Amino acid sequence: MTRTPFDELVHRLNNLLGTIEIQAELAASDGSLPAHQQALALIVESARKTQDEVRRLRGQQAGRDG
């Protein structure tokens, strides 16, 4: 089944939110600086992937509109 651009965006945003939630909980339960640093690194990585996906989807939309 092919997802619409909107469905792809919602999926990617859901992944980002899940990463933020899980990593924050793991870092808080560990409490150490390395755990917090690792959590932030994973959150930033997920955010960048989301940004890339948004750019890709916007490019597809611009191609349809133009």
Sign of CA dihedral 39, 45, 49, 51: positive
Per residue of the chain (66 residues), what is the pLDDT tens digit? 788 888 988 999 999 999 999 999 999 999 999 999 999 999 999 999 999 999 998 888 777 776
The reply to whether the predicted model has a pTM over 0.85 is no
pLDDT of residue 31: 97
* Distance (Å, whole) CA 20 – CA 30: 15
Tell me, what's the pLDDT at 66?
65
Q: What is the amino acid identity at position 18?
A: G
User: How many Å apart are CA 52 and CA 19, to the nearest integer?
Assistant: 16
Q: In a 10 Å sphere around its CB, with 0-12 CB exposed, 13-18 middle and 19+ buried, how is residue 4 labelled?
A: exposed
